[in-house]
Amino acid sequence: MRICSEADRPVLDDDLVIWGDNAVALGRLPAAAFDLIYLDPPFNTGRPQARRTLSVKADSGGDRNGFGGRRYRSRLLQSLSYEDGFGDYLGFLEPRLVRARELLAPHGTLYFHIDYREAHYCKLLLDEIFGRDAFLNEIIWSYDYGGKPRRRWPPKHDTILAYVRKPGAHHFDCDAVEREPYMAPGLVGPEKTARGKRPTDVWFHTIVPTSGREKTGYPTQKPEGVLRRLVAASSRPDGWCLDPFAGSGTLGAVCRNLSRRFVLIDSNPAAIEVMRKRLTLGPRSLHHGTVAETRGGR
Ligand SMILES: C[S@@+](CC[C@H](N)C(=O)[O-])C[C@H]1O[C@@H](n2cnc3c(N)ncnc32)[C@H](O)[C@@H]1O
């Protein structure tokens, strides 16, 4: 894996992490080269996204309350953040999406990850750029975590919009996707129950656990399990995948495990550092006793 800057004109001979504005970096990548492009931009929440990772140790004079009235002392291990407010959100996205479409191979697919605030505007923009006939799916990723307001239905899903470069010519290998348990196994026979079912366009999947192998401490990190489905279905072994808003490098981690090649771009130096650690050292376990705190919220 190589790390380079937006000013370079990279050749696709090694996995790449590019530091810089994706508006510039996308312009320097070769056209029609990618099986899959996954975009997970800031969602325009209007607040910076921040996450602090603390180590906690039992200490009767500590600064935090814990289970059973015990006291703990915390120490800040890292604090990561990125900006998430745009005056003209669609104006920011449009040139990047236009270029992303050019970078897709004729059999390629683009996945755009967003939430309820902007999903409807983004779908209209994507229809305009790709054409309505290039729309493939609206995937709903449902999770259950965090605070629940009492005056409306708690919003607990993200939307992933899929568009293909050339309608009808896209690669899609439904057999490469891990199956999941039937919701009502009693309604199908034991053979089907044992095999599981192919996922639909509604996915129930937990967020990245706050302590676990996958967690990097980067704000709004997406779970590998969600991206694994996209990569398995819409890219070929050894095919190239691109993430212009890479954050902690989840797409790269998934590509590694599924033998795909990757290009990851991010303008935040802290993200580049997280990716460097995650993708050159491999999956990392956090020390027992670390906790993550999210600020900004979605
Ligand atoms: C929602 S996060 C991506 C999280 C990622 N999917 C993960 O699993 O960790 C969005 C990322 O976009 C980056 N970003 C925002 N504007 C950018 C730009 N113009 N060029 C490159 N990266 C940008 C931010 O630094 C942030 O890391």
Write the pLDDT tens digit of every residue in 151-182.
999 999 999 999 999 999 999 999 999 999 99
Higher pLDDT, 134 or 63: 134
| In the chain, % of residues over pLDDT 70 | 94
Distance in angstroms (rounded) separating the CA atoms of residues 6 and 265: 8
Cβ distance 139 to 115 under 8 Å? no
Q: Give the per-residue pLDDT at 60.
A: 84
* Band of residue 289 on the pLDDT scale cut at 50, 70, 90: very low
Q: How far is the CA of 84 from the centre of ligand 1 (A)?
A: 9
Cβ distance 235 to 241 under 8 Å? yes
14 is a domain residue: yes
Closest residue by Cα to atom 13, ligand 1, is 245
Tokens of 49: 């996204």
Tokens of 101: 């479409």
Pocket probe for ligand 1: among 28, 265, 267, the residue whose CB has the most ligand atoms within 8 Å is 267
* Band of residue 285 on the pLDDT scale cut at 50, 70, 90: very low
Distance in angstroms (rounded) separating the CA atoms of residues 212 and 176: 26
Q: Region 32-46: what's the mean pLDDT?
A: 95
Q: Give the per-residue pLDDT at 284.
A: 39
Q: Which of 207, 210, 157 is nearest to 51 (CA)?
A: 210
Where residue 226 sits, what CATH number does that domain have? 3.40.50.150
Q: Which of 94, 69, 47, 41 is nearest to 297 (CA)?
A: 47
pTM of the model: 0.90
- Mean pLDDT lowest among 36-40, 107-111, 212-216, 292-296: 292-296
* Band of residue 283 on the pLDDT scale cut at 50, 70, 90: very low
Q: How far is the CA of 109 from the centre of ligand 1 (A)?
A: 20
Most confident stretch, 4-13, 207-216, 242-251: 242-251
Q: What angle do CA 236, 242, 246 make, to 5 degrees?
A: 135
pLDDT at 286 over 50: no
Q: How many domains does the chain have?
A: 1
* Band of residue 23 on the pLDDT scale cut at 50, 70, 90: very high
Query: What tens digit of pLDDT does each residue of 73-131 get?
Result: 888 778 888 888 888 999 999 999 999 999 999 999 999 999 999 999 999 999 999 99
70 is a domain residue: no
159 is a domain residue: yes
Ligand 1 surroundings by CB, under 6 angstroms: 21-22, 40-42, 82, 218, 220-222, 245, 247-248, 250, 265-268, 271
DSSP for residue 266: E
Q: Region 182-200: what's the mean pLDDT?
A: 92
Averaged pLDDT score across all residues of the chain: 91
Distance in angstroms (rounded) separating the CA atoms of residues 169 and 37: 16
Nearest-atom number in ligand 1 for the CA of 82 is: 25
Q: How far is the CA of 247 from the centre of ligand 1 (A)?
A: 5
Q: How is the beta sheet containing 104-114 ordered, strand by strand?
A: 2-5, 16-19, 261-266, 240-243, 34-39, 104-114, 157-164, 135-142, 202-204
165 is a domain residue: yes
Q: Give the per-residue pLDDT at 293.
A: 53
56 is a domain residue: no
65 is a domain residue: no
Give every CB contact of residue 168 below 8 A, 6+ residues apart in sequence: none
Instruction: Write out the residue range of the structural domain in which residue 90 sits.
Output: 2-47+84-295
Q: Which of 159, 158, 7, 39 is nearest to 104 (CA)?
A: 39
